[in-house]
Structure 1
Amino acid sequence: MSKFVQGLAATSLLGALVLAISPSLAQGAGSGTGTSPILQRIAERNALTIGHREASVPYSYIDREQKVEGYSVDLCLKVVEAVKERLGKPGLQINYVPINTTNRIPLVANGTIDLECGTTTNTLARHEQVAFSPIFYITGTQLLVKTGSGFKEVEDLAGKRVAVLQGSSNEQSLRALNDGKKLNISLVYAKDLGEGALLVETDRVDAFAADGGQIKVYAATRAQRKGSLSVVGRLLTYDPYSVMIQRGDPEFAQLVSRVFAETFRAGEAEQLYAKWFGPLGIEIDPILKAAFEIQALPR
């Protein structure tokens, strides 16, 4: 990753952190429901509702035993423990509701879901509808190529064929680079992640531009031959993942931010990353480690 991109990502990260952390963080943790409508709602239901993805391995998914699991879910469960302690309800129930890219924001905004634990990018536009936890994962547009192809950056693909998901931010970023640098890349549309990867594996395209985290997982778990696919290149976009919560509740946002800060400070977030991504051979990126350190606010 170039120093420019590192600097840009760090600047964007700091800006997102300021928005993600509640302005009332410096206040005491308090007890009971306080003035928090979310905590009051949870107490009345005697249940906290988690929104989860069904197949976003290893972030948030349903396993073979129909259990909701994943890196994002484990982080949310730390918030659940803090809520139990705050409300004095050790037997608080957890309800799980499957979500998708279409309904996840409305379900958080209307209070159906208390914590959205998936793969949602923390953006300024979305802050108009929901609030966010601190950042727990950082990804961006990268390139899936055949191992040994010699392609290392998007500029190496001048005059080549590259698959994208139509209408995605990945397509937008690649198109902008293609036009700006006059790379003469031919864009080929894939309907989903699996098809994009298959186009690379069958030599119908030279690369697939998609979310770096997702294609790393695909290369590690679903490639036709182990080690046949590689993810290369700098981050062409900056996509930080956070947990969504309902807007307008600074007390609950404070609780969530405190839990994440403590998790980062204790090194538990890095341990959870190793638990879920280590078996896939995906090491933690230095920029994510830096994010954990930056957000490990003192008590």
Structure 2
Amino acid sequence: MGASGAQAARAETVIERAARTGAITVGARADLSPYSFRNDRGELVGYGVDVAQLVAAEVSRYLGRPVRAEFEPVGDPDALFRQVSNGEIALSCGAQFTWEREMFVDFSIPFSLSGIRILTRAQGLSGTAESLAGKRIAVVPGSLGERAMRDLRPQAIRVAVPGLKDGLAALGSARVDGVAGDSILLAGAARSAGSQGLTLVPEDPLVRYAVGCMMPENNSTFRNLVNLAIAQMIQGYVIDDPASTATVNRWLGPGGVLELPPELIKAYFQTVLLNHEQINVPTTR
């Protein structure tokens, strides 16, 4: 979309555009397991993809007409951020919250919690400053992982790689001792690659942050609907609603990409809901 298209996108709210076109444009990376990635059949799937579909359903109910999530693959995370910021893309789910980004886009309530850790197979590399002294750690330039290593673990030697997959390849060939990045994305990338014998350190992440959806600023009705869709899903998980439980567990819970204990997921979801009104979700939906 050119400059004139971006200006038109900003002049029209997301809800107005959805009412006119019957679609919400969703920007998605195709290599960020478990949030958005291509499966063996080439289909775009993931936790963020499922959340975007729930948002589209909520907007459909609000407008009283069908609205579909129209996915647009975007490979460059910086380009994705710019397109959301200028209104070319209405939604991106699986985004890491930072206060810097909040200056230019709006964020939903979170549907996941993550942090910066190091994926390694090295014995004795625990993630402490002492264990990382002189170790070669792969980082993606400009990422939160690079920032955390630079600011919190300067004893390590940072090795720039284009992406997490490249970092995993470097780890597999022993060119680096570890890969620093988002712990959920690292776990998803390792599982997708079939890597064995890897562990995430330290036990407590170097940095923690919420993960949710980002959208253009000044779209309060749309932001409310996005929050409602997420709140219904996480409240449903807390009360053991089958549909919500299946959605979350497919990616985070037992049998999913991360296989986190349901009690841990529920505890986090409850902390999110404490700051908002409880959503009554029928268990039969």
Residue type of the partner of 1:96?
Answer: F
Taking a change above 3 Å as real, the CA distance of residues 205 and 279 of structure 1, as seen in their structure-2 partners, is same
Specify the alignment match of 1:196 in structure 2: 167
Aligned to 2:70: 95
Q: CA shift at 1:159, angstroms? A: 3.6
Structure 1: distance between partners of 2:46 and 2:207:
24
TM-score by length of structure 2 reads 0.78
Please list the CA deviations of residues 225-246 of structure 1 after superposition, one character each: whole Å capped at 9, or x if unmatched: x532222212112232211122
> Aligned letter for 1:75?
V
Q: Measured at CA, do residues 172 and 49 of structure 1 come closer, stay the same or move farther in structure 2, by a change above 3 Å?
A: closer
1:52 is matched with: 28
Give the alignment partner of residue 218 of structure 1, picking from 189, 212, 236: 189
The match for 2:128 among 154, 157, 163 is 154
> What is the TM-score of this pair, normalised by structure 1?
0.75
Match of 1:48, SS state, is strand
RMSD: 2.5
Q: 8 Å contact 2:34–2:46 — kept in the other structure?
A: yes
Equivalent position to 1:75, from 40, 46, 51? 51
Task: Provide the residue aligned with 1:28 in structure 2.
Answer: none
Among 135, 143, 149, the alignment partner of 2:118 is 143
Is this contact kept in 1: 2:56–2:68, CA < 8 A?
A: no
> Does the CA-based 8 Å contact 1:143-1:154 persist in structure 2?
no
Larger mean CA deviation between 227-236 and 199-208 belongs to: 199-208
What is residue 232 of structure 1 aligned with on the other side? 201
47-56 or 196-205, which deviates more: 196-205
Residue 87 of structure 1 aligns to which amino acid in structure 2? L
Match of 2:7 in 1: none
After TM superposition, give the deviation of residue 42 of structure 1 in Å.
0.8
The letter of the residue matching 2:220 is P
Give the match for residue 128 of structure 1.
103
Q: Is the 8 A contact 1:166 1:190 kept in 2?
A: yes
Residues paired across the two proteins, number: 255
What do residues 166-208 of structure 1 show as CA deviations (whole Å, max 9, x unaligned)? 33322222222334xxxx4333333332332233233333222
Higher RCO, 1 vs 2 (CA within 8 Å, ≥6 residues apart): 1
1:163 aligns with 2:134: no
**Residues 42 and 271 of structure 1: is their aligned pair in 2 closer, same or farther, counting only changes over 3 Å?**
same
SS across alignment from 1:227: coil
Name the CA shift for 1:144/1:93 in 2 (closer, same or farther; >3 Å): closer
Give the corresponding residue for 1:298. Answer: 278
Structure 1 position 291, deviation (Å): 3.1
Q: What is the aligned counterpart of 1:43 among 11, 19, 29?
A: 19
- Aligned residue number for residue 24 of structure 1: none
Q: Kindly tell me: are residues 79 and 166 of structure 1, through their superposed partners in 2, closer, same or farther at Cα, counting changes over 3 Å? A: closer
Structure 1 spans left out of the alignment, 5+ residues: 1-35
Deviation at 1:281, TM superposition (A): 5.5
Gap runs ≥5 in structure 2: 1-11, 238-242, 280-285
**Pair 1:116 & 2:96 matched:** no
**Percent identity of equivalent pairs:** 27
Residue type at the aligned position of 2:172: E
Distance 1:222 1:68, change over 3 A: closer
Whole-angstrom CA distance in 2 between matches of 1:125 and 1:256: 21
For residues 116 and 60 of structure 2, the distance between their equivalents in structure 1, rounded to whole angstroms, comes to: 38
Change (3 A) 1:61 1:187: closer
- The aligned amino acid for 1:217 is G
